[in-house]
Amino acid sequence: MEERGAAIFDVDGTLIGCSSERTFFVRLARAGIVRPRHVAQWVARAVGDLGGGIDTAVRGNRAYLAGMSAEQIAVLAAQHADEYLRDCIPDAARAAVRERQEAGDLVFLVSGSLDVLVAPLADMVGADGYRASTLAEADGRLTGRLSNTHPVGPGKVEVAESLARSYGFSLDRSTAYGDRPSDAVLMSRVATAVAVSPKRALARQARRHGWEIVRWHG
């Protein structure tokens, strides 16, 4: 039996035309849930973790949420996705998802954003699954660290390979959609790559590799 393929969509800047976590941060700040001391926590954690590299110190740093109720943040994230992020999904992205499904591909969202934001987006577009940054918890409170592989750059390839094993599809028959250079690691690993409203550096790579370039966002 011929192996099945999958369509793997990045989220921020690709499936949606905004930053899911940045807009969520603004929402929390406006509500007074994230305060200056929480930002100070983030800065202190970043400085302390610099020896572990930029991914640990910055990209995997969620110390601004440390000590908060995991349940409360999950509820607020679901509200943010429904009230704001839903409108950030352009018709072209929804059409691309349908096209890949009609072609027989599985569809997954793989993002470095918070899983509590990505999960509702996966439901909105009818994806078969998702992988994102999972917040570590202790006694119902967030620790400000991640409990899983950060799905960015090489981490995104690791996550995609895990999905392929779990769902029984082949990356050699799959398509990856991304908008920035960190997505190029996975885009280079699959059969077909689509650069979505790409940043300048990714646009250069796309032209060099002959990847399709589409404009979903202004």
pLDDT in tens, 43-73: 887 787 666 655 554 667 899 999 999 999 9
Mean pLDDT lowest among 14-28, 32-46, 189-203:
32-46
- Is 21 domain-assigned? yes
What pLDDT does 83 receive? 98
| Backbone angles phi and psi of 97, in degrees to 5 | -60, -45
Q: Would residue 191 count as lying in a domain? A: yes
The mean pLDDT value for 164-172 works out to 96
Nearest-10 crossing angle of helices 20-30, 115-125: 120
Counting the structural domains of the chain, the total is 1
Judge residue 148's burial from the number of C-beta atoms within 10 Å of its C-beta, 0-12 exposed, 13-18 middle, 19 or more buried: middle
CATH of the domain at 130: 3.40.50.1000
Q: Are the C-beta atoms of residues 208 and 39 closer than 8 Å to each other?
A: no
Average pLDDT (153-175) is 96
- 154, 111, 153: which is closest to 134 by C-alpha? 111
Name the band, by pLDDT with cuts 50, 70 and 90, for residue 114.
very high
Proportion of the chain above pLDDT 70, given as a percent: 94
User: Is pLDDT above 80 for 112?
Assistant: yes
**pLDDT score recorded for residue 139:** 97
Provide the token pair at 155. 């981490």
Its domain, for residue 103, covers 6-214
Does 106 fall in a domain? Answer: yes
Give the 3-state secondary structure of residue 180: coil
- Compute the mean pLDDT over every residue in the chain, rounded to the nearest whole number: 93
In whole angstroms, give the CA distance from residue 37 to residue 45. Answer: 12
pTM: 0.93
109 assigned to some structural domain: yes
Q: What is the pLDDT of residue 55?
A: 57
Domain contains 1: no
CB contact at 8 A, 118 and 11: yes
